[in-house]
Structure 1
Amino acid sequence: MGFFWFLLGLVVGAVAAWVLLARRYREELDAALRGWEERCRAAREEVDRVDREHAEVRARLEERIAELERERKALKGRIGALEARIAELERRAAEGVPERAEAEGPPASAAESAQAGAEGAPAGAPGEELQRIRGVGPVIAAKLVELGYARLSDIATLKPEDVARIEEAIGFPGRVARERWIEQARELLAAGG
């Protein structure tokens, strides 16, 4: 009978050891699982934070790209206007037309002065004659002279690129057409200057 109790004690001891070891193993496993879950949660939070930062940076970059694209288009338009102006100046230079009326100098005699007055040359200060056009005051006349348009004949022969250049310089888009500067200049020239 002693052997039976020994065997029973051995089995009970083995079962108790197995239960204790299983419990300890389960606790270690649960602790490891909690640790990995915590690491996964921290990693997900980090990924979310990086995704938000990435989205913000991407939005800023896309906005900057759009801004640079607008600037590029504006500069491209300005280049086109400048190229047109250069072509116009080269055409004038080839024809011998001076850029500014002041480059012609004053007439040498009274007869030449009368002839120049009939052709639309300024009678007084540069740009004074331009003030005969309704809508052109002293400030705008001075700006026109600065741009190289000092006579009625200069205004009467404006091309679309000249009109765009003038309107940009004076800061009044559409004013030349709205106030009919070209037609007024032609009418004044037809009426004898």
Structure 2
Amino acid sequence: MKKRLVVALTGATGAVYGVRILQLLRPLPAWETHLIVSRAGVMNLHHELGMKKPQVQALADVHYDIDDIAAAIASGAFRVDGMVVAPCSMKTLAAIAHGFGDNLISRAADVTLKERRPLVLVPRETPLNLAHLRNMTAVTEMGGIVFPPLPAFYGRNKTLAEMIDESVGRILGFFGIEIDGLVESWEGL
């Protein structure tokens, strides 16, 4: 049976992270991706990457409407191996932190947490206010991982694409997915 990863894209800047995750998982036969894109995420995909919703949906094995709270991934009985929200808006972070399952992204994240499965949030906001920090703390206390996609300069990446891949490689590592050439491990000096 394939492993399943839920991938959600929200309206925060950084749509490239979610798209790149889908692109890298597409050729891996052991993994099946389940995609949700928020309405603001659709707008952001178009603005930042010139992509339309069907183009992103084509990168996933299964895709859902944001309002489909009866979808398979809205239930803990549907086995998935984790979820990543990349990028994660502060609105979505707040909904997850407070168990406010008003759409399929926040509901699927709630299910991921309650089932004790890996949940990685990739927030793209700066500077952070106290509400953002408290919501990040709440998600962390519930077992989620908050992963701002900050570049690691010791790898001496030369391009923006290399920086994105390095962050995506580290995100995928939380799910036991290692793709050669994405992450340079630190060996010390």
Query: Normalising by structure 1, what TM-score?
Result: 0.25
Higher strand content, 1 or 2: 2
TM-score, normalization by structure 2? 0.25
The one of the two structures with greater contact order (alpha-carbon pairs below 8 A, sep at least 6) is 2
